[in-house]
Amino acid sequence: MIRIFVTGGTFDKAYDEIRGRLSFGDTHLHEMLRLGRAHVPVSVRTLMMVDSLDMTDADRDVIVRNCAHCDDTCIVVTHGTDTMVETAAALARGVAGKTIVLTGAMIPYAFGSSDGLFNLGSALSFVQVLPPGVYIAMNGQHFAWDRVRKNRETGVFEAM
């Protein structure tokens, strides 16, 4: 069983047609798993729905505690890309003996041109085969939590 914790981020941004701006509603994760015809057993729980630039230390505590206390040892966390590395570091400090893979998207899933489905397929795969540790899966690659940074100019995650 793979546990998926949803925290928001670009991945789940929707378009609020009444107010004419981006917003968060329900997660698109169930629809994405259906589209991907995923048959790996998963359990999805939404922890929060926030832009990762607005994520507080208290929010990160919630994520860490949920990952630490759930029974599952394979965990995917969907997360905004801007502070994904910070949350990965918090998870590395607070959770041991589990494989945790953070992923997200540069373009909202609700847009036709999203990278979200590709990244979800990637994260769900990495989490099944990587040894315990905290990783980021973006751009078809995986990075140990302390060996990666997001290049803010290009939007690409880079090894360091």
Tell me which residues touch its own copies (CB under 8 A). 10, 15, 17-18, 20-22, 32-33, 35-40, 51, 53, 80, 82, 106-108, 110-115, 117-126, 128-130, 137-142, 152-157
Q: How far is the CB of 9 from its own copies (least distance, A)?
A: 9
Closest to 28 measured CA to CA, from 47, 8, 43: 8
Q: How far is the CB of 100 from its own copies (least distance, A)?
A: 15
CA distances from residue 99 to 102, 120, 125, 152 in whole angstroms, order as listed: 10, 16, 12, 27
Taking the least distance from each CB to its own copies, the nearer of 64 and 85 is 85
Q: Please name the residue that has the structure tokens 């570091």.
A: 89
Taking the least distance from each CB to its own copies, the nearer of 33 and 85 is 33
User: How does strand 21-24 pair with strand 13-16?
Assistant: antiparallel
Other C-beta atoms closer than 10 Å to the C-beta of 155 total 13
Q: How far is the CB of 65 from its own copies (least distance, A)?
A: 27
Quick one: how far is CA 11 from the chain centroid? 8
Taking the least distance from each CB to its own copies, the nearer of 64 and 108 is 108
Q: How far is the CB of 87 from its own copies (least distance, A)?
A: 16
Angle subtended at Cα 48 by Cα 45 and Cα 49, rounded to the nearest 5 degrees: 110
Taking the least distance from each CB to its own copies, the nearer of 64 and 81 is 81
